[in-house]
Structures are given as C-alpha cells and as structure tokens.
Amino acid sequence: MIIIEWLLLLFLIVCAVAVSISKNLLNSVIIFMSYSLVMAVIWVLLRSPDLAITEAAVGAGVTSVLFFLALRKIGRMGHKDDGEK
C-alpha cells in the first residue's frame, strides 16, 4: 500500500509541474482535473471520505466545468497559444 501512496504523491508533483509549464490552456485544465481526482483518492486513503467527495465534486467537477466554459467563452478551447502557431 505504501508504494501506491508514493506513486500517487509523485503523480501529484508531476501534475503540479506540468500545469505550470504547459502552454496549451486546455491541457492545463485537463491536468488540473486529473490532479483533483488523484487528490480525492489520496483523501480516501487517508480515511477522510467527506474531503474526498468535496475534492471530487468541487475540484474535478465544478471547477473544471467552469474552466472549460471560460475557455470556450474566450475562444481558446483546443487552440494553441500565439507563440506556437
């Protein structure tokens, strides 16, 4: 079980760095959503199901939907940044 926990923590660090260096906004939102889902799994492993449900609902659910709507509103859904054209 300890190996799984370390792998999840390593995945969280990789996701945090990947969101920071990603140039594509859509990719950043998807990475952020996966970060929230893994964080919800970690909360379950820590025996805190109330925080896990909240993290999954708010972090991966509502926040991601709002980010997707914002990207669609500004016309950046799936488009690369100006520097990558």
8 falls within a domain: yes
Count of domains observed in the chain: 1
- Residues 6 or more apart whose Cβ sits within 8 Å of residue 41: 8, 52
pTM: 0.80
Residue 85 lies in a domain: no
Q: What is the DSSP secondary structure assignment for residue 84, as one 8-state letter? A: G
Asked if 38 and 12 touch (Cβ cutoff 8 Å), the reply is yes
Tens of pLDDT, residue by residue over 26-55, are 999 999 999 999 999 999 999 999 999 999
15 within domain boundaries: yes
- In sign, the C-alpha dihedral spanning 71, 72, 75, 78 is positive
**What's the chain's Rg over C-alpha atoms?**
15
Residue 65 lies in a domain: yes
- The answer to whether residue 79 scores a pLDDT higher than 60 is no
Residue 19 lies in domain: 2-78
